Structure 1
Amino acid sequence: MAAEESAAMSYEKIYDMGTGLIIAKVQLDKVREQDINARIMKKEMQDQLTANIKNRGQLESLPLLVEKDGVLEIISGHHRIKSARAAGMKEIIAIIDVSGLSRSKIASKQLAHNAISGFDDPSILREICKMLDDVDDMLESFIGKDIMEEPLEQYDKLLSPAVHFDFKNITFSFLPHQVKDMDALVKNLESSAPEIIGVAPYEQCKQFIEALARYQKFSDIRNVGAAIHSMIESVTEKMDEVGFKDDEEWTYLTKIFGSNAIPAESAATITKAIKKAEKDGAITSKNRWQLIEMLATEYLAGK
């Protein structure tokens, strides 16, 4: 009787489930582990369990204890109780068997709770893992990399300060002149689902890389993405300077004159004419080409 009273003082009954089982608030320092326990847990897993319990402030599943000879012994939940203690908890909610189990029956239930635990369907585990979008949740789940697969592709991003954003892929291939089957090429490139596919002569690849490297030095930008962004801004600014508009059809002067170079003396004369036209207000810096149009119009009119 004294032993039963001693055990009763170790917990506070909350609910009687019937058939000799109760739910109770238990003092952790009154709970004793079994002398031997076949179920083991790796240290990193135990540490994660401790972190989970500490974060939650309580156990998320109830251990099963047994009242035996005035002592509360663990049948199932050794690792949960160990982590609860490590997390600094003083009491837990547990299920207690007060039906008076024999030592043989306690051993039987201990083995059963360890052995009859089922197994996970890997495909379903992967589907559940896809729901994880927070690195703390990934850590808490303690699912291995062999199951994580696709969710782990986001793991490194989640570990670093970041924001969620959409992105697009651009594929630009430099090809030798011998490549003729462009339909097959484009079909092959589309398999990677880029947003834009560009094709240029193979020889221009080296020029592109060299130009990019020179621009990085010129602008003192080491990041390739930032350098390309700056190059795009420069081109955009240049188009704005000449008054380019998307809704108008434009062409290159080279296409008209057959060359992009003229004699230096001729260039000097044209430059003077442009400056005079700007000063007179006939043209602006954004539409210098209109001087050519004006002269051409006068010529066609016979003036």
Structure 2
Amino acid sequence: MTEKLSPPAYVEGDPRELTLLDLNARFLPHEQFRQLVENITQDGCLTSTPLVWHDAESGARIVLSGNHRTMAAIEAGLTRIGWLEITDPLPRQRQIALQLSHNAISGQDDPAILKELYEELESVEWRQYTALDDQVLNLLEKVDVESLAEANLDFATITIVFLPDELKRAEAALDEAKKTATADARWGVALTQYDDVLNALETTRDAYKIGNSATAFGVILATFERHLAELTDGWYDAEAQTASRKGTAPIETIFGVRKIPTAVAAAVRKSIEDLIRAGDVPEGEPWRALEVWAGAAGEDTTE
């Protein structure tokens, strides 16, 4: 990779003394260029800064980015503008790379937010100042702001790759997890739950006056956490007070929480260690302390 550039300096001067690119991939439609000239005339200055390379050998100051702004400033009659100036030697390859990157890496507008901001402009003059063309404006008319409210969320896609051994263990864990839920034909047909998910999101958004679906989903998860104990229906017969199936059950469904205070956890751990030392609980199965505490130590619960 090429060496890092020195930070560019802010320089002011006559835009007519700058050298424009002979070959510029970025073009500006005539109507937009006229609007740019009009905006600069109205402002009396440039409100965005061109990038200029000062070639020490020739003495020329070459505009790498901002050629249209520079031309518009000249046409608007400005005799002095500011620009960012690079003085490091720049091979031709790097000049082109800088030019193209400034043209290409320009970001994209969130249509919902763009529509919301545009509609705040009450004056026709300010709307014209934005230079949004008919194509963009027609798209804005079709935008449903509420449906696109999350378009600006940062997100990352995570891919988990399982090696053969890990895949077997993951499949076994998933099969075990399925056993903790009550039988439901919709488990394997996720599309049938689509409406339920949307209804849950809508109800949550209405209840908390939330516009963001991701935030509403967080509330749903928090509500789920508060009702962990209700998942006992998947393995416990409350009327008979016995297990309704074989296998295992998540311990959090017993207590209704995933965590307990450290002081309580330390006391529980000490009690388990005492039971192990006394031989009442097998060393490799500390959870059997629950049998002792429940008064079921004499029963055979093995399967």
User: TM-score scaled by structure 1?
Assistant: 0.42
User: TM-score scaled by structure 2?
Assistant: 0.42
Structure with the greater alpha carbon radius of gyration = 1
Higher strand share: 1
